[in-house]
Amino acid sequence: MHPSLERLLKVSGLNQEELAKRIDESPQTVSNWKRRGVSKSGAIKASAEFGVSVSWILDGDESGENVEVSKVQGWDSNTPLDDDEVEIPFYKDFLVSCGSGSTPEIIGEATRKLRLSKATLNKYGVYEGNAYALTAFGNSMSPIINNGATVYVDTGRTQIVDGKIYAINHGGLFKFKFLYRMPKGGVRIVSANAEEYPEEILTAEDIMDQEFCVVAYAFNVQNSLP
C-alpha cells in the first residue's frame, strides 16, 4: 500500500470504503491510491476533513501548512480575494421557507462571508450565485456532518440523486439527510446516525401534508476540529 494512503487511513481511523464516502470519492478511486498514491485533489479534501496538511498526506512532510483549511475563514473588504477564490455568504442562524408551489428560500442575514476555491465549485458543478454556507445542528448525520459543522450547499440542485446529502425542510425543521426516491413521488429520508434517528419514508401525500421540501444539495462539509 502506498504510504500516503496509509497515513490517510491512520489519521482518519476509517477503512477504504468509509474513507471514500467521507471525502466524496468513489471506492475505486481510493482503491487506485493503494498503488498510485493519494491524488492532490483527494489530499485537499482530506486535509479539510481531517485537519492535517496536504503536504503531510502526500509526502509525510509535517512542516507543511494546512492551506486549504486556513483558506475557509471569515474575511473583510480589506482582505483581497485570491484569483482562485470566491466569496460565499455564511448563515449561522437562518430560517427556510418552503411555501406550496414556491422555490425554497433561505431567510436571514449572512453572518459573514467565507472563502471557497473556484476549483471546488467547478469540481461539483456549482454556480457561484447558488452557493451558501450553512451551520448544521444536532448529531443525526454524525460523523459525516457533526454538530456545528459548516456545510456548503447548492440551492440550484434540488432534484434528488439517490444516496446524496441534501438540506431539507420537514415540517418547519431544517435538517441534512441522505435522500432516496421512492415510487409514486415518495421519498426515503436516512440519517448517518441511524441508531438514534431511524429512517423515514414519506408518500407523495405525506410530502404535501408534512410540508417537506428539498432546499439544496450539500456538496462540501467543514467539520470543526477537536
* pLDDT tens figures, 26-81: 888 899 999 889 887 788 778 767 767 777 788 876 543 333 332 333 434 455 55
N-to-C CA span, the chain: 28
Torsion angle in degrees (nearest 10) through CA of 160, 110, 135, 133:
50
Same domain, 11 and 94: no
Residue 40, strand partner residues: none
Is residue 76, in this structure, part of any structural domain at all? no
How far apart are alpha carbons 195 and 211 in whole angstroms? 25
Q: Are residues 134 and 171 in the same domain?
A: yes
214 and 168 share one domain? yes
CATH number, domain at 7? 1.10.260.40
Say if 179 falls within a structural domain.
Answer: yes
- 135 & 29 share domain: no
Q: In whole angstroms, what is the distance from residue 12 CA to residue 206 CA?
A: 39
Regarding pTM above 0.85, the answer is no
Over pLDDT 90: what percentage of the chain? 21
Helix orientation angle between 3-12 and 27-36, rounded to the nearest 10 degrees: 130
Residues 61 and 99 in one domain: no
Query: Is 173 a domain residue?
Result: yes
Residues 31 and 7 in one domain: yes
Place of cell 452557493: 131
User: Distance between CA atoms of 59 and 108, rounded to whole angstroms?
Assistant: 43
Q: How far apart are CA 186 and CA 116, in angstroms?
A: 34
Structural domain total, the chain: 2
The answer to whether 47 and 59 have CB atoms below 8 angstroms apart is: no
pLDDT recorded at residue 189 = 95
Contacts 24+ apart (CB under 8 A), 6-12: 7/56, 7/57, 7/60, 8/38, 8/43, 8/46, 8/50, 8/57, 11/50, 11/52, 12/46, 12/49, 12/50
Separation of alpha carbons 106 and 16, rounded Å: 36
What span, in angstroms and rounded, lies between the C-alpha atoms of 206 and 208? 5
Same domain, 93 and 62: no
Domain range for 36 is 3-69
pLDDT < 50 regions, the chain: 63-77, 100-102, 226
Distance CA 148, CA 37 (A): 32
Residues 107 and 49 in one domain: no
* Cα 220 to Cα 150: distance, rounded to the nearest angstrom: 9
Shared domain for 40 and 145, answered yes or no, is no
Burial class for 97, CB neighbours closer than 10 Å (0-12, 13-18, 19+): middle
Predicted confidence at residue 41, as pLDDT, reads 77
Let me know the angle formed at the C-alpha of 212 by 220 and 130, rounded to the nearest 5 degrees. Answer: 35
